[in-house]
Amino acid sequence: MSPEIERSQAPYAQVAAQIRERIVSGELGPGDRVPSVREVASTWHIARATAEKALGLLRSQGLITTRVGAGAVVSSDALIYRSAEDRHRQVARTGLIYTQGEYAKILSAEHVPAPQDVAHALDVELGEPVVRRHRVTYRGDEPQSSSTSWFTAEVAQVAPLLLVRDRIRQGTAHYVEECTGRTLGSEPLHEVLSRLASSDEADEFGLPMPLAVLESRHTAWDTVGKPLTYEVGLARPGHVMTLSNRSESESR
């Protein structure tokens, strides 16, 4: 079945978004060939000029480059921030949480009093004990992003690995689903804001202050509308952050 174009958004932007998603999910990795102008025009049933504009957008974002003899390929220098939602789709597409060369270090997994934003997202009282699971994701030796996942104490009672500083191989979201029997619903909330990093956050990235970062906030509910997880992520400067209106979510 051919990909569909919705007329509510410019066709070139939709095509670029669909190719970008394949890159963000890890389906297309550094050096992999991306469809040519002719292939894009044929696959999406659009004019060549529209196809050229779609690939031009990806090129301007630093996601693809032109290699002699190979045409357009995914740039090896592409800096992509993968949100909780992105990683959930990545697991669905590839079965892997991280792309080649990526890995995470779990720096903390503990009970803490719920701060205001967490209490609101998880629908608990301010200061009520919740689980905080914090990690930094690396490519090689360089930190790329950090994220903190939050869960209620009730969830942690049946999902004890949330309080262990080890990676959860199937992904935190899938583990929580398995342990609780609660399935992620279809309407996660994803918000993005810019702010200055704290000194601790700058230290994690190994960058000097002052440091501007993009923060993503991702709240996911189960199928009956009860909060299941809340994640706050930070992107290292220079990364491309993508937003999707697709109804999937993931928390590592």
Q: Is residue 172 part of a domain?
A: yes
Give me the count of residues in the chain.
252
For residues 131 and 102, which has the higher predicted lDDT (pLDDT)?
Answer: 131
Residue 4 in any domain: the answer is no
Mark whether 66 and 98 lie in a shared domain. no
Angle at 96 between CA 92 and CA 99, to 5 degrees: 120
The rounded distance, in Å, linking the Cα atoms of 83 and 234 is: 9
Q: Looking at residue 6, what is its pLDDT?
A: 56
Does 171 lie in the same domain as 54? no
118 lies in the same domain as 190? yes
pLDDT-wise least confident of 81-95, 116-130, 141-155: 81-95
Q: Are residues 106 and 59 in the same domain?
A: no
Angle among Cα 101, 105, 110 to the nearest 5 degrees reads 155
DSSP state of 129: E
Q: Per mean pLDDT, which of 17-31, 70-84, 89-103, 197-211 is the most reliable?
A: 197-211
pLDDT at 19 over 70: yes
Same domain assignment for residues 153 and 196: yes
1 lies in a domain?
A: no
Domain boundary among 23, 57, 74: 74
Q: What are phi and psi of 128, to 5 degrees?
A: -65, 145
Least confident of 2-6, 35-39, 76-80, 165-169: 2-6
Q: Is the pLDDT of residue 55 over 70?
A: yes
**Residue 116 pLDDT grade (very low, low, confident, very high; cuts 50, 70, 90):** very high
Residues 149, 169: one domain? yes
Structure tokens at 220: 């996911």
From 54, 74, 94, the end of a domain falls on 74
In sequence order, what DSSP letters do the residues of 10-61 get, joined into one string?
-HHHHHHHHHHHHHHTTSS-TT-B---HHHHHHHHT--HHHHHHHHHHHHHT
> Residue 179: what pLDDT?
95
Q: In the prediction, which pLDDT does 248 show?
A: 33
Same domain? For 235 and 123 the reply is yes
- Average of per-residue pLDDT across 138-151: 89
- Is residue 128 predicted with pLDDT exceeding 80? yes
Contact residues for 199 (Cβ-Cβ < 8 A; gap 6+): 209
Same domain, 61 and 84: no
Range list of β-strands (E), the chain: 64-67, 71-74, 80-81, 102-113, 129-139, 142-152, 189-196, 212-221, 227-235, 240-241
Residue 237 lies in a domain: yes
More confident residue, 38 or 92: 38
Same domain, 15 and 118: no
Tally of CA atoms within 13 A in the half-sphere of 91 that contains its CB: 19
Within a domain: 3: no
38: domain range? 11-74
Q: Are residues 170 and 199 both part of a single domain?
A: yes
16 lies in some domain: yes
* Structural domain includes residue 152: yes
pLDDT of residue 139: 80
Record the tokens describing residue 13, joined without a space: 């932007």
The structural domain count of the chain equals: 2
User: 62 and 144 share a domain?
Assistant: no
> What radius of gyration, in Å, describes the C-alpha atoms of the chain?
19
pLDDT digits (tens, 9 = 90+) for 217-237: 989 999 999 999 999 999 888
- Taking residues 34-61, report their average pLDDT: 92
On whether the CB atoms of residues 137 and 151 are closer than 8 A, the answer is no
Question: Which CATH number characterizes residue 18's domain?
Answer: 1.10.10.10
Question: How would you label 208-221 residue by residue, b for 16+ Cβ within 10 Å and e otherwise?
Answer: eeebebbbbbbbbb
Nearest to 57 by CA among 90, 23, 108, 98: 23
The sign one gets for the Cα dihedral 8, 46, 28, 174 is positive
